[in-house]
Amino acid sequence: GEVVFRNREIEDFVLLRNDGTPTYNLAVVVDDIDMRITHVVRGDDHLPNTPKQLLIYRALSKEPPAFAHLPMIVGTDGKPLSKRHGDVAVGYYREAGFLPEAMVNFLALLGWSLDDSTTIMDRGTLVANFSLERVSSKPAVWDPDKLYWMNAQYIMALGDVELAEAIRPFLVREGLLGEEDGEGMERLRRAAPLVRERIKVLADAVPLLAFLFREVDTEEDSRDFLEGEENRAVLREAGKRLLELENFDSASIESALRAMVEEMGLKPRRAFQPIRVAVTGSKVSPPLFESMELLGRERCLQRIARALEAGRGAAAS
């Protein structure tokens, strides 16, 4: 609503410093006049400046813009948002892989709402429905968990080609994909849908997909899956079955490896981990059989052989 200040409540304030440079209140008024600003929407921490600026507009015989002051954004601890709450620079969110549409959606809901239930909305809906009347008078809470959740929802909604194109710059940045790498881009288009449900930001896709674009070392916490006679037996037998496959597609790979596990009397979840670690370098990866199809028979067999060699060396030491 309308806020009223009495003139006697406004102290004398400085317009020019000793060196002749203008103070904030004078500078911002002159700049807004020069820019022909008609509306100013800003944080309510600027509310005390507003009556002073209105007096300057009046002294300059200029029509002031319409002013609206929004509640400040605070962290989950209720204190004004600052670096202690994590990264607050826009650049960080771009580099981490937050989608612009998700950021706009999230920011729009900081202190404003379309109704009592809508959380996900596109920019057109926001533009068509935004009004200052629905802005809350209470401080808005910056909730990182909600932002990650919302970004994941937008990632889920991307088409396969859109998702691949969105992930591409992050692989290029890490040197995993060349700017003109057509073969690598085709592999990414096929791989991107496999990580859609596993990532919250686009940068999350890099460690999940790196094994498809370069040779990877086995992660420290995954090496145990390459050691021990049972794990080595699984890898040896998997190598044989994969070599014998007529078609190296995910369905054929899955059928062969599940038959192998059943014959060996092992639980699939336990038996597939050595294979996953061998071909991807990690115990966390996209779906195994689809990953192996994308990697190709030759590279899968090479990595299994290398894992067996590494396990043999570990046993000898």
Average pLDDT for 241-246: 96
Rounded CA-CA distance 99/83 in Å is 22
Nearest of 245, 254, 265 to residue 292 by alpha carbon: 254
pTM of this structure: 0.84
Q: Hey, how many other C-beta atoms are within 10 angstroms of the C-beta on 190?
A: 15
Rounded CA-CA distance 280/303 in Å is 9
Confidence check: pLDDT of 127 > 70: yes
Confidence check: pLDDT of 89 > 90: no
Confidence check: pLDDT of 317 > 70: no
Composition of the chain by helix, strand, coil, percent to 5: 60, 5, 35
Confidence check: pLDDT of 309 > 60: yes
Q: Which CATH number fits domain 220-316: 1.10.287.130, 1.10.1040.10, 1.20.200.10, 1.10.10.350?
A: 1.10.10.350
Give pLDDT tens digits for 227-237.
999 999 999 99
Q: Structural domain boundaries of the chain? A: 7-70, 83-152, 158-212, 220-316
pLDDT band (50, 70, 90) for residue 196:
very high
Give pLDDT tens digits for 247-256.
999 999 999 9
Q: pLDDT over 70 for what percent of the chain?
A: 96
Nearest of 108, 112, 106 to residue 137 by alpha carbon: 112
Average pLDDT for 32-38: 97
Confidence check: pLDDT of 205 > 60: yes
Confidence check: pLDDT of 30 > 90: yes
Placement of tokens 């400085």 in the chain: 14
pLDDT band (50, 70, 90) for residue 108:
very high
The burial of 255, by beta-carbon neighbours within 10 Å (0-12 exposed, 13-18 middle, 19 or more buried), is given as middle
Confidence check: pLDDT of 24 > 90: yes
Residue 137, pLDDT score: 86
pLDDT band (50, 70, 90) for residue 290:
very high
CATH code: domain 158-212 is 1.10.8.70
Residue 47, pLDDT score: 93
Confidence check: pLDDT of 8 > 80: yes
Residue 125, pLDDT score: 95
Nearest of 71, 65, 27 to residue 47 by alpha carbon: 71
Average pLDDT for 66-92: 83
CATH code: domain 83-152 is 1.10.1160.10
Class of domain 7-70: alpha beta
Confidence check: pLDDT of 85 > 80: no
Confidence check: pLDDT of 1 > 80: no
The catalytic residue positions are: 83
